[in-house]
Amino acid sequence: MVNAFTLNCARLAERELAHTYLARSLSLPDWYGRNLDGLYDCLTDMGPCVITLEGADLLRQAGGYSQRILQTIDDAARDDPDLTVEYRPAPMRTLYSLDRADYDPRWPAVIRPSVRAVILRDSRIFLVHSLKYDYYKFPGGGVEPGEDPIAALIREVREEAGLAVLPETVEPYGLVLRTEKGDGCQVFIQDNYYYLCRTGPEPLEQDLDGYEAEERFTPELVTPARAIAANRRPDHGPKSPIMIQREAMVLETLVSEGYLPMGTETGPGV
C-alpha cells in the first residue's frame, strides 16, 4: 500500500508551526524531533508513500527555514526510492492569513480544511445567517479525509443552505489560512478554500447537524453591506472572532474586486 499526503506549502513559512503541521499532516511518529534531521529520518522510514507539495515555488523564493524544509524533503526522496515527491501549483491564491497567536506553536495540531461557496445573484449573495448569534457565513464546511473538495462543497452547500451546486460552474476564488487555539492544548489549523459557483433554481430542504440547528442556520440572499455590518459588530457569543471576521474580509474583497456592489446595510434579504 502506498500512502499519499498533500502539504500546503503556505503552512511551512514559520518554523515551529511548520513542524507542528508536518507532524500532524504526515502522521510522524512520537520520536520525531521537530528538527530537520528528525524530519529526514522520519521521511526515509515511512515506507512507500507519495508527498504532494502545493505551492512550493513561492516558498523557495522566500528562502529561510522553509526552503531548508523543502530541501530536506527533496533529499529524503533522493535517498529513499520508496518516497516520491510531486509538485503542483497552489490550487488558488492566498487572500489572507489570520492567526490569533493564542496558542503554543509546539502543541499538537488539529487540521480541518474546509470549502466555502461564493454564490452571487445580481447585486446580492447567498449566505447562511446564524439567527442565534447574528453573524453570516459562506455556506460550506469541513472536507472529510479522502473526500474530493468539490464533492465536499456540493454536500455542504446542500446541507447548510438547501441549494444544489452546479458542478460545471465551480471556479477557484481564494484561500484564507486560519490558525488559533483549539480545544484544550491544541492548535487549530484550517485552510478555507472559497469557490465561485452557481446553484440550481429550486430550493431544497436543509439537513443541519446539531450545532447548526441550535444556531438556527438560515440561508439568506443579502447585500454584502448587511452581512459585513453584522459580522463587524463585536458580540457574537462564544463563536470564534476570526472565523466571523474572515467572512467579512472575504466579502469586502469581493466588493473591492468588482464581484459585488457594496449597497446598503438595509438592502433586502430573502
DSSP string spanning 50-69?
Answer: EEEEESHHHHHHH-HHHHHH
Mean pLDDT of the chain: 94
pLDDT confidence of residue 44: 97
In this structure, what DSSP letter does residue 250 have? H
Q: Is the pLDDT of residue 38 over 60?
A: yes
Q: Is the pLDDT of residue 170 over 90?
A: yes
Q: What is the mean pLDDT of residues 44-53?
A: 96
In the structure, what pLDDT confidence band is assigned to residue 1 with cuts at 50, 70 and 90?
Answer: confident
Q: 68 with 99, same domain? A: no
Q: 246 with 124, same domain? A: yes
Q: 37 with 125, same domain? A: no
Q: 219 with 154, same domain? A: yes
In a domain, 15, yes or no: yes
Boundary-marking domain end, from 42, 60, 88: 88
Q: 42 with 128, same domain? A: no
In this structure, what DSSP letter does residue 12 have? G
CATH code of the domain in which 112 resides = 3.90.79.10
Q: Is the pLDDT of residue 140 over 50?
A: yes
In a domain, 60, yes or no: yes
pLDDT confidence of residue 62: 74
pLDDT confidence of residue 262: 81
220's CB contacts (< 8 A; 6+ apart) are 126, 127, 128, 129, 136, 269, 270
Q: 74 with 48, same domain? A: yes
Range of the domain at 152: 94-256
Q: Is the pLDDT of residue 63 over 80?
A: no
Q: 103 with 235, same domain? A: yes
Q: 22 with 138, same domain? A: no
In a domain, 265, yes or no: no
Tell me the whole-structure pTM to 2 decimals: 0.93
How many domains is the chain built from?
2
Boundary-marking domain end, from 88, 113, 136: 88
Boundary-marking domain end, from 88, 116, 144: 88
The pLDDT > 90 percentage for the chain reads 90
Q: Is 5 helix (H, G, I), strand (E, B) or coil?
A: strand
Q: 124 with 144, same domain? A: yes
69's CB contacts (< 8 A; 6+ apart) are 12, 18, 22, 36, 39
Q: What is the mean pLDDT of residues 234-241?
A: 95
In a domain, 264, yes or no: no
Q: 228 with 185, same domain? A: yes
In a domain, 148, yes or no: yes
Q: What is the mean pLDDT of residues 150-155?
A: 98
CATH code of the domain in which 19 resides = 3.30.370.10
In a domain, 165, yes or no: yes
Cβ proximity of 176 and 194 under 8 Å: yes
Q: What is the mean pLDDT of residues 62-86?
A: 94
Q: Is the pLDDT of residue 45 over 60?
A: yes
- Quick: pLDDT tens for 77-134: 999 999 999 999 999 999 999 999 999 999 999 999 999 999 999 999 999 999 999 9
In a domain, 218, yes or no: yes
pLDDT confidence of residue 59: 79
